[in-house]
A and B are shown apart, each in its own frame.
Chain A
Amino acid sequence: MLAIQNLKVSFGDKEVLKGVDLQVNKGDVVTFIGPSGTGKTTILKCVNYLVEPDEGHMQLADISVDFKKIHKKEILQLRRNTAMVFQQFNLFKNKTVVENVMDAQIAVQKKSKKEAYERSIDLLEKVGLLEKKDEYPSRLSGGQQQRVSIARALAVEPDVVLFDEPTSSLDPELVAEVLKVIERVAQTGVTILLVTHEMDFARKVSNKIVFMEKGHIVEQGSPEEIFEQSQNERTRQFLKHYYPEAIELMAVHS
């Protein structure tokens, strides 16, 4: 459903992704882990072309692109079949909660206002924010804003939802409410790419973990393979620092 080959990205003379290959099946929940600045977010932003790759090929559902010679039309197609949940939420500040969820349905998908409204109300109920529908984003807490942004992403019925560190700018006590919503989204069978530092959560919801370092995919596999049985020295080093529980699990296994 999503296949990436030889994806290369550089910012100025700094190489961020040095040839990444990735295969994602429909309904997969793929979580990217690894140290900061290794290109996890960049991969996500290449999928919807918010970052311009230097080269690489990508197949998303029936859209096939060569990043070296991508057309404006193809960029719109990629974006209209994906949706992103941002670290900083990025809700439209000039629109109310329900308008945020409605807007792309009207402006991009050309749905009627009524249809868009009904779908939005339905989604807002699912993320538990129906009573906030007429508030502006500035009146909401970070956790609430992020839940609205998840509803906005789901509203356009994307093939893939890209979660870019969705809980990294939240207060610790607000993280749980957002993770709960993401978990429920994952259970509906939507294909998800997720970048997070919440290792417990990654282990629980993902069916595939990708460990990245310095622009390369070092190791990928099921949560058990990565968190419990990894033989890779660099993966183990990373987990030792950021998820000591994994080391305990590995001790049990070996």
Chain B
Amino acid sequence: MITPSTWEIVSLLLDVAHITFIILLASAVLGLLLGAVLTMINVKNIPVLKQITVVISSFTRSVPIIIQLFIVYYALPPLLGNFGINVTSMSATVAAILALTLYHGGYLTEVLRAAYKAVEKGQHEAADSLGYTPTKKFFRIILPQTVPVALPGWGNALIHLIHDTSLVFALGVADIMGRAELIAASSFGMNQVQVFLIVAAIYIAVTFLSDGMVRLFEKKTQKFKLDSGLKAKRVA
């Protein structure tokens, strides 16, 4: 039996890397959108819908992600089938994206809500007093002050999401982790330490990139300080 060399393993793993990236990118973007919508419902205090956001966010934060994946993939189709919605043909990849989107969105709701609430009431009052419409107020004044507060939390959530993409192989998705399992199995576990160290290295690289991106955003939004300046009384 010929065991593949390190570089062969790397290239075998990178062959399927796009699967992982598609899942990651899709659930990061959709999760951010979902988180934004849930946050809006939450801070606008829309009845009924608000209770639903609370349920989603507490469910996604209290159930282990692997269980969430199983629920979406195995439990959701028959459940929706009862209501006449046929999703039995949902692929494992779509299920993975759906589950991770819910998870990421639920998590981000907490981050975004806290960041939104961190904007002082006085900022709302000032814009209101000048006759801003709610939309103008939000995009010109409130959102630009929410983003810098939300960035560190968002960066953390993103790292969690990156790591959790390694669990989707449990649904049979042939991602990096799924391929790694196969390579390790084909040598009867002889090279599994080597394979998983390589997987670790790939995840380190991705996390590093994501961290760098968040840092860049942080730098870009740092031009103004959010403290009130009340303490800077004697600045000339």
Contact = CB atoms under 8 A, between A and B. Distances in A.
A78 to B, nearest CB: 8
Report the contact-size class of chain A (Cβ under 8 Å from the partner). Answer: 35 or more
B232 A140 contact: yes
A77 B226 CA distance: 30
Nearest to B121: A90
A108 interface: yes
Contacts of A152: 130
B126 A94 contact: no
B132 A108 contact: yes
A50 B123 contact: no
B123 A90 contact: yes
Contacts of B123: 90, 92-93
Interface residues of B, number: 29
Most B CB contacts (10 A, CB to CB) among A88, A90, A103, A136 go to A90
Interface in B192-236: 223-230, 232-235
A94 B229 contact: no
B160 interface: no
B8 interface: no
A141 B233 contact: yes
A172 to B, nearest CB: 11
B131 A76 contact: yes
A86 B125 contact: yes
A91 B130 CA distance: 12
A141 B140 CA distance: 24
Most A CB contacts (10 A, CB to CB) among B120, B125, B226 go to B125
A136 B224 contact: yes
Contacts of A174: 233
B145 interface: yes
B125 A90 contact: yes
A48 to B, nearest CB: 5
Interface of B: 120, 122-123, 125-133, 136, 140-141, 144-145, 223-230, 232-235
Interface of A: 48, 50, 76-77, 79-80, 82-84, 86, 88-95, 103-104, 107-108, 136-142, 145, 152, 156, 162, 169, 171, 174
